[in-house]
Amino acid sequence: MYRDMLVELYDKNIIEKNFNSTVFLENLLLSDHIHPKELEIDKKQNLIESGVHNENIYFIRRGIVSSSLGFMGKGRFLGLDTLVMNDTPLYTIKTIEPCELYVFDKLEVMEYLFSLQEGWLFLYLIEKEERNLLLKNHSFLTLKGLERMEAVLIDLAQDFGIREDDMVILPKSFSKKLIAEYANLSVNTITILIKELKKEHFLKTRTANNLFYIDGSKVPKK
């Protein structure tokens, strides 16, 4: 609440322009006091484990990870939520496909932020992103079967889909099982809903693989 009141003293557009994740990354990479490492990691690997202290901050350069908050991809920081109080993480973050990451030492990042007069604004915006992600995912649970499935697929298509002709294709890492867990539905229910969405031409039928081909006209561009 206190930070929300402080933010009101600043212009919203200026904050989002000068204190976003991209600017934060650029500043970290330019700092002489920060020593980032580059990491390539395979799919199905835990980056952060719930209840286990983590000494690193990650930035996703390529790839997708999952947690109880949802899915996060290129351009997202991971691990900043435990930076200030050095708490143990509340949720596990796992790669769902091979990822390329920057790895930062948590102590170096914390000292850098504390050296900035307005460093807390970087944390505020990143925390806001996570809060919005949680609220969005909670909103899916208010929807019923077919409507929820459509909303989930549109959301994933906007964030991670690849447009090809009149379709938006989800990466193959988004299996039926993974989407079922995200939508809080059973795999059997997902299978039935997929058939219904194909009848409605929301999903395109492709027999060559198990990718999700979504009608591009149903997916608003961000």
Residue 15 is predicted with a pLDDT of 73
Round to whole Å and give the CA distance between 216 and 34.
42
Residue 132 is predicted with a pLDDT of 86
Q: How remote is the C-alpha of 202 from its chain's centroid?
A: 24
Round to whole Å and give the CA distance between 203 and 184.
20
Model confidence over 149-182: pLDDT tens digits? Answer: 999 999 999 999 999 989 999 999 999 999 999 9
Residue 82 is predicted with a pLDDT of 77
Domains within the chain, CATH numbers bracketed: 2-139 (2.60.120.10), 141-218 (1.10.10.10)
The model's pTM is 0.85
Residues 6 or more apart whose CB falls under 8 angstroms from that of 193 comprise 145, 146, 149, 185
Round to whole Å and give the CA distance between 122 and 168.
32
Round to whole Å and give the CA distance between 64 and 72.
6
User: Does the CA dihedral 18-21-26-32 come out positive or negative?
Assistant: positive
Model confidence over 94-152: pLDDT tens digits? Answer: 999 999 999 999 999 989 988 887 778 888 888 888 888 888 888 998 999 999 999 99
Residue 73 is predicted with a pLDDT of 95
